[in-house]
Amino acid sequence: MRETSSPTFTLTPLAQPVRSVLLYVAMEAEASGIATALALSAPRSLRASSTAMLRDGEHNGLRIQLVTAGRDALLGVDHIGPVFGALAVARALDTCPADVIINAGTAGGFQSRGGAIGALVIARDVQFHDCRVELPNFDALARAHTRLSLSDAELDAIATLLHASVGGVSTGSSLGATSNEIAFFTREKTLAKEMELAAVAVVARERGVPLLALKSITDLVDQHEPAHEAFVKNLAFASARLARAMPQLLQWLRARG
């Protein structure tokens, strides 16, 4: 097996002190428990021209602005995926400047690399796994392989605090995975497969804002149960795990200075 590829891009390091946090969570089912745990406001429109929703409040001395991408008016489902993630975060930063972005959400994991339902993963780096652009440099741009803002020491500290794993996260537009994508996950030693972080990382890079990410596992990509069935069955459990972990993560951020 070849070594994991190195990130092409690197985000702004986490500065001290952190006073304001933009917390992006794609789905309402993932966000509601976090909002309750942090005692945030009721959801309201982020701005008139966007479907994104905002909850805000203070927690342990931090200004928290929790943004979701909202629901589609025609189809009645959450706006999930890379496009809506990037749009929501970019619009939120225009309205709600922050010292750091946190992307929290659920993801597929890998039993072969220690994954389990409800297990937490702290992202070290992220890339798109479903981009195929066979042109020099355009391929790297499309893959957008990005090292997130936390240092190795910071990653280790959070992992110890939350009993989480640290590693690579991979983003795509599909809930399931093809055989080629599974082979890619094996080569890259991916710990979590999800649908927004790499797009959020592009926005963070362009805006110069630090980014970290916490994922909770709903399904195991390398097992036989269909991803959509496992996702629905385990969404509430994995989301509750996120909600319990978020106050601890924010306390760690606040304690940095």
User: Which helix H or strand E contains 107, and what residues bound it?
Assistant: strand 100-109
**Torsions phi, psi of 131, nearest 5?**
-100, 130
Selecting among 78, 219, 222, 229, the annotated active-site residue is 219
**Torsions phi, psi of 5, nearest 5?**
-70, 150
Q: How far is CA 88 from CA 103, 118, 184, 205, 216, in A?
A: 12, 26, 28, 15, 21
Selecting among 28, 30, 56, 206, the annotated active-site residue is 30
CB 79 within 8 A of CB 199: no
CB 130 within 8 A of CB 221: no
Q: How far is CA 227 from CA 47, 76, 158, 199, 222, in A?
A: 34, 21, 28, 22, 10
Q: What residues does 134 pair with on adjacent strands?
A: none
Region of residue 82 (phi > 0: left; psi between -120 and 50: alpha; otherwise: beta): alpha
Catalytic-residue membership of 188: no
For the chain, the distance separating the N- and C-terminal CA atoms, rounded to the nearest angstrom, is 41
Q: How far is CA 214 from CA 58, 155, 175, 226, in A?
A: 20, 11, 18, 23
Residues with catalytic roles: 30, 219
